[in-house]
A and B are shown apart, each in its own frame.
Chain A
């Protein structure tokens, strides 16, 4: 379980810190790669930009994707990932403040595997993160890895 990478796409430093805290609190010690905007996330996943030449065989087990992102918003990131052969099966969880109906519709419509709203209460947030880790890192069988 330890070799499984989590890609956290989050522009808010507070949320990043709180998410990492929640993971740690729940003893999830997997490597967390943080992308602070949509472009960075795509660069990481496709080995472009600052991540040029990255070994793409090392792929995250799950992507935790915020919707409100600078440069390229979450839904657009989702669309590009689903449009690419290399990432179209990648498990993506939308983790956002919003529970707007249109966001849920667009999230699932764009091919997200899950939609989780971040609660205000940190205890609840921590619990959500715990369950996400348990589910996506332990319980869920990832799609076959491509070579």
Chain B
């Protein structure tokens, strides 16, 4: 306590000004100098403090602090010098000096130690150099930075483009983590196709896209997903609206945000599958149809001619079962001769070049027998025109060929007999012509010169001779009539028919009138029905009616009154014309002989005639496609019926 009391007590000591004898100049010189030194000393630490604060990066800051304390202490000693001029508290002043000393010695020591380090600090020139280097570097850095920024921007653009590409892939694409199956990214197509928004997608796992039954397999696969392998397959996916679609998937491993993931591209093949199914069913139906065809062998060949399909018809026609035929070359069905001539290949070549080959020819069955086949080979080409094979349809037309051959044979025979007939006809024509010209001339001579004998040698001939000559003349004239009748008969056959609507009633009436006029003295009654019409040859029908009505007229000549009728009736449902008389009639047992040439049922003396008339009528009726028959009884009259079924417009 005394110490501190002494400290602030002047004691017995004189103030320092006393030493200066209170010389005011000296005192104030010391006061001002000390005060200014103290002021300066006190400001320096603040400046240092400010400097340090501003330059925190400077080394040795603790040195500055120490230096600050030392200067403040020095300043304080100078304040005490001023104080001691008037107050003799030297103890205090001494202690302050001691403190200052204590502060200055470590400072000095430390400063000495510091000098090498301070010397190591770069000089301002060096700093300038360094600075310039730094500036250069900074500029370089700036340039590099700018470049980096550009690269960065480009990278961002690239990423945008990648995104754009990803989104514009027309197939749904997504990325999922291999082990969690969580969907990590998805493109626009997937969003559109599946109905989930992007956010919804990113909250899903692959399991959510697959039907529940697929989950176990999916998990299994996830565990053993082959590293980096690209896989493809098909499965079903469920859309947001619950629709199941068929998809084909291609996936590959990728690293996404640092994790193993798989990139999946999905293609919706629902429609394609439906089309394929429809096609398959259509194929199946077609196949059933083709398979079931029995009358045609329908098969397909590959481009080299090997059988690829075989139907029931093929088995039936060719005798091979499908398993025997398929894979065989189709030349197996050709005859050895055709194979030797390389015909199978040529046929295929024609089919390939001209699209179609067709022929009829011999083919061989499994058992070696031959059949006549109609074969059509058609080239099958795809859209690009590439030959895919051939369709072959074969029919066994052996029977048809035989039938055709038979028809041909009959036709030839017909042609031959026709030619014979024509020749015969020509001969008949020549014969008739010759008869007409040459056979009658001698008759005329016989008759003429017989008469000349009778006339010129009348007085030299007795009754017997004259009678003989009369008989010669009668026979000659009868032969003339016979020849004429025969010629008429052949003419009826030879004449060309002109069919037209013919008024038979009119012809009948005309013939009746002629007959009446030939023997006006006879009593007779002709009854001709009206509207008797026929489609016939008018000239021939007149000849027929002349004969029929003429016969009726002849065979009624011994009746007191002839009654002759021409009309029509129905017979077995068809129209028949008839000529009826009340004349001599004939024995029905001999009726079939009526229509033969030169057949006579009556004596020429009773009823003259050559027996050619009814043969002529029959020929006319037959030429009209009709038939003729007669009903009669002796002395009970006769009825001749005939039909005319001439073909309309035919000749």
A120:B437 contact, CB within 8 angstroms = no
A97 interface neighbour in B432, B444, B447, B477, Cβ under 8 Å: B444
Interface positions of B from 449 to 491, Cβ below 8 Å from A: 449-452, 473, 476-477, 479-480, 484, 487, 491
* Cβ of A36 to closest chain B Cβ, rounded Å: 15
Contacting residues of chain A (94-134) with chain B, CB-CB under 8 angstroms = 96-101, 118-123, 125
- Cross-chain contact A120 with B480 (CB below 8 angstroms): yes
Please pick, from B433, B445, B450, B480, the residue contacting A14 in the complex, using a CB distance under 8 A: B445
B169 at the A interface (CB under 8 A):
no
Q: How far is the CB of A70 from chain B (nearest CB, A)?
A: 13
* Count of A-B residue pairs with CB < 8 Å: 65
Interface residues of B (CB under 8 A from A): 432-433, 436-438, 440-445, 447-452, 473, 476-477, 479-480, 484, 487, 491, 495
A33 contacts B by Cβ under 8 Å: no
> Which residues of chain A have a CB within 8 Å of any CB of chain B?
12, 14-15, 18, 21, 67-68, 96-101, 118-123, 125
**Which residues on B sit within 8 Å (CB–CB) of A123?**
451
Q: Is the CB of B491 within 8 A of A101?
A: yes
Report yes or no: A21 in contact with B448, Cβ–Cβ below 8 A: yes
Are B438 and A120 in touch, CB under 8 angstroms? no
Cα(A122)–Cα(B326), bound, Å:
95
Expressed in whole angstroms, the minimum distance between the Cβ of B497 and any Cβ of chain A is: 14
**Residues of chain B with a CB closer than 8 A to A15's CB:** 441, 444-445
Whether the pair A97, B448 counts as a contact (CB closer than 8 A) is no
Task: For A67, give the chain B residue with the smallest CB separation.
Answer: B437
The distance in angstroms between the C-alpha atoms of A21 and B443, with both chains bound, is 16
**Could you tell me if A125 and B437 are in contact, using CB atoms closer than 8 angstroms?**
no
Given contacts A21-B452, A100-B432, A101-B491, A121 and B447 within 8 Å (CB-CB): yes
* A120 with B491: CB separation less than 8 A: no
**B449 adjacent to A120 (CB under 8 Å):** no
B437: which A residues are within 8 A, CB to CB? 67-68, 96-98
A125 to B444 Cα, complex, angstroms: 9
Contact of B441 among A14, A21, A100, A101 (CB under 8 A): A14
Q: Is the CB of A121 within 8 A of B436?
A: no
**Could you give 17 example pairs across A and B, Cβ below 8 Å?**
A14-B442, A14-B444, A15-B444, A18-B449, A21-B448, A67-B437, A68-B437, A97-B436, A97-B438, A97-B444, A98-B433, A98-B437, A100-B433, A101-B495, A119-B480, A121-B480, A122-B444
Contacting residue for B445 out of A18, A98, A101, CB 8 A? A18
* Inter-subunit contact A99/B436 (CB<8 Å): yes
Nearest A-chain residue to B455, judged by Cβ: A25
Chain A neighbourhood of B477, CB < 8 A = 120-121
